[in-house]
Structures are given as C-alpha cells and as structure tokens.
Amino acid sequence: MVEDEEDNRAKKQWQKDKNRFQNLINSLPEINVQDKVFKIPSLPGDKGDMDIYNRECYEYLRNFILNDTKFSRYLITGNPGIGKTFFGRLMLIVLLKENKKVLLDYEAVTALIYPSGDTEYVSDKVQYRQIAEEQDVWCIIDGKGIN
C-alpha cells in the first residue's frame, strides 16, 4: 500500500519533469544564446524560469569544448556562485539546438533528453553507465540544484 503510493507519486513527479523538459524543447527556437541575457523555462527542481546572464567566458568555454578534437571530457570547477551551473544550462540549450542527446544529471533529476523532446528517466547505475558511454551522448553533471 505504501509502496503503491510512493510509486504513484514518483510517476506523477516524472510526468511533471517530462512536461518541463518538453516545454524546454518547445522553447528552443525562441532562445538566442548569443543574447547578453536570455530566459529558459524551468527545469525539474527549479522554482521558475531562469535568466541566464551570458558571461563573456561562456562563449570561449563553449567553443573550446565543442571544437576540441583531442579531449572528450571536461571538468569545470570553481568557487560557489561563479556560474558553473548556469554554464551547464547554456550548454544544455546549445547541445539540444544542435540535435545532440544530453544526459542531464543533477540534484533534482537524472534524465536522458533527446532533441525531439523525448526523455528517459535514468534510475540505476548500470543504465547510467551504458548511456554515458554512448558515443553520441553529451553528459552534463552538476552536483548542485538551483533554488
């Protein structure tokens, strides 16, 4: 009985999360990542839509990562509040606009997002590893959610 209630809650939450991801996909044509400030719809765990302040360093980092042919993994570290999470959101938008699959892993949810808007909830380590090892999947991992 308790498990059924928890399962129902989890299913309802996942449906809400899927709707948020679909809303993001539907909004992609209107999002201009070249703008100094642009808004993205809320993602799971967010309290509302988010303004992204497009810092000068974001363009450099984005181009470096996307154009690099030597390395396939990057770790961005820094003090709290310098924009790592916002850069991750910017990369999510850029990658989806370029029709890339993205494994998004952060505090609120872990999901594979397809450019078509389909989403796949990732619930265990085996599935996570299989997806992360796919050649055409980009992984964005952020240990902190946005409130």
Domain boundaries, the chain: 2-142
Q: What are phi and psi of 70, to 5 degrees?
A: -90, -45
* pLDDT for residue 9: 86
| Strand segments (E) across the chain | 37-40, 50-53, 101-106, 109-113, 119-121, 137-142
* pLDDT for residue 31: 96
- Strand, helix or coil for residue 50: strand
* pLDDT for residue 21: 94
* pLDDT for residue 147: 45
Q: Residue 105 forms beta bridges with which residues?
A: 110, 141
Per-residue pLDDT of the chain (147 residues; tens, 9 = 90+): 667 787 888 889 889 999 999 999 999 999 999 999 999 999 998 899 999 999 999 999 999 999 999 988 899 998 988 899 999 999 999 999 999 999 999 888 999 999 998 999 998 999 999 999 998 999 999 975 444
